[in-house]
Each structure stands twice: as structure tokens, then as C-alpha cells.
């Protein structure tokens, strides 16, 4: 295989791996939330009274008593998959429009793609701001990596090979969004922590 094709595939693998990592982490967090939300059994049981069923268990039960709750909900799958798809489609569209949007040496399709990717980073910050501590940062970083590497992969697929300038700029903007996102998430999380007054 040509080195350019291999590098394009590597970018796609990064995007998919980041999305899968985010899915696995969200799946783990959702399972832990469900497990932690089930209250412990009452210590004293009245043998003449039917046992009470906690509301969380009632919500988890489906019509079929043999069915297990689905931990891979749409919420867990939507954001990571959407980041890869949006990044890849945006890269493809940006490269397809490149010959037509070059006006006076300015590539307006690249500027529009950059604005959309930056708005995507703000959306990811907003989605992950409720995450607690390191895990919220990790989810943001994985989804941010998936979006930027998906963009580079989509652009390179249409272009036919890796273009060094695009990869350098994608890495720089990805790193900038990573740092900016972590700082903003840290500010959000510090505001939400209760302060203890002695």
C-alpha cells in the first residue's frame, strides 16, 4: 500500500478508536449510575406486608420480565458516533468544495469548516460539562479527537493522500481545542462543587 493511503487509514482509525473509547467510557458510567441509584434493602422486613419495590427498579423494568435493561442507550452512542460522522462529512464536503470556494487566494470552505469544527468543540464542552472530574475531561478529549481526526480522514480520502499542511493545522487546532476545552470544563466543574464553610 502507498504511504499516503496508510496515513489516511490511520487517521480514520484514530477517529473510530476515539469514538469507541468514548462509547465504552459512557457505557461504564451509565451502568455505575444505575447501580449506585438502587437503594439498599430495608433492614427490617414485615412478613405480613408485601415488599416495596424501589422506583428506580420500576423504571428499569420493561414489559417483558425476562428482558434486561439496555445500558447502550441512544444517549451513550449518539455523541461519539455523531462526532466521527460530522467530522468526516465536513472533511469530505470541504475538500469537494475547495476548487469552487477559492476566491482571491482565500479558501472560504476551509474557514467555514474551521468555524463548524470550533462550534462542535463548544457543543462537546457543553455536553461534557456535567461530567465529574477527570472523566468529564476524558470524554471531551476522546470526542474532540474523534471529530478532528474524522475531519482529516474525510478530507484526505477525497484528496487522495495526506497533505502535510492540513495535518499540521488539524493537529494544532485539535490541541488548541483540547487545552481550551479542559480549561473551560475545569471552570465549570469548579463552580459546581459545593463550598464547605467552617
pLDDT at residue 180 in the model: 93
Q: How many domains does the chain have?
A: 1
Residue 19 lies in a domain: yes
Tell me the pLDDT of the chain (198 aa) as tens digits. Answer: 566 566 666 667 767 777 777 777 766 666 666 566 555 555 566 666 666 665 555 544 444 444 444 445 566 678 888 888 888 899 889 888 888 877 788 888 888 998 999 999 999 888 887 766 777 788 888 888 888 888 888 888 887 766 778 788 888 888 999 999 989 988 887 877 665 565
Residue 155 lies in a domain: yes
Residue 159 lies in a domain: yes
pTM, rounded to two decimals: 0.67
Residue 84 lies in a domain: yes
Residue 120 lies in a domain: yes
Unique residue bearing C-alpha cell 435493561: 69
pLDDT at residue 176 in the model: 92
pLDDT at residue 63 in the model: 44
Long-range contacts of 182-190, Cβ-Cβ distance < 8 Å, separation of 24 or more: 182/137, 182/140, 182/141, 184/125, 184/129, 185/125, 185/128, 185/129, 185/131, 185/136, 185/137, 185/140, 186/137, 188/125, 188/129, 189/129, 189/131, 189/132, 189/133, 189/136
Residue 198 lies in a domain: no
Task: Determine contact, residues 193/129, Cβ cutoff 8 Å.
Answer: no
28: domain range? Answer: 3-192
- Distances from the Cα of 142 to the Cαs of 15, 107, 181, in angstroms? 9, 29, 12
Amino acid at each position: 500500500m502507498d504511504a499516503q493511503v496508510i496515513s489516511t487509514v490511520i487517521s480514520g482509525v484514530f477517529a473510530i478508536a476515539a469514538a469507541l473509547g468514548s462509547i465504552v467510557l459512557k457505557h461504564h458510567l451509565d451502568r455505575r449510575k444505575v447501580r449506585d441509584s438502587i437503594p439498599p434493602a430495608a433492614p427490617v422486613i414485615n412478613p405480613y406486608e408485601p415488599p416495596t419495590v424501589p422506583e428506580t427498579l420500576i423504571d428499569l423494568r420493561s414489559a417483558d420480565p425476562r428482558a434486561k435493561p439496555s445500558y447502550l442507550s441512544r444517549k451513550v452512542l449518539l455523541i461519539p458516533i455523531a462526532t466521527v460522522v460530522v467530522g468526516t462529512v465536513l472533511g469530505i464536503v470541504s475538500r469537494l468544495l475547495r476548487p469552487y470556494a477559492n476566491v482571491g487566494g482565500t479558501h472560504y470552505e476551509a474557514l467555514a469548516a474551521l468555524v463548524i469544527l470550533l462550534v462542535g468543540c463548544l457543543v462537546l464542552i457543553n455536553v461534557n460539562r456535567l461530567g465529574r472530574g477527570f472523566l468529564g475531561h476524558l470524554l471531551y478529549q476522546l470526542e474532540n479527537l474523534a471529530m478532528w481526526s474524522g475531519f482529516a480522514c474525510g478530507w484526505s480520502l477525497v484528496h487522495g493522500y495526506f497533505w502535510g499542511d492540513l495535518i499540521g493545522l488539524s493537529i494544532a487546532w485539535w490541541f488548541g481545542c483540547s487545552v481550551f476545552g479542559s480549561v473551560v470544563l475545569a471552570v465549570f466543574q469548579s463552580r459546581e462543587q459545593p463550598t464547605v464553610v467552617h
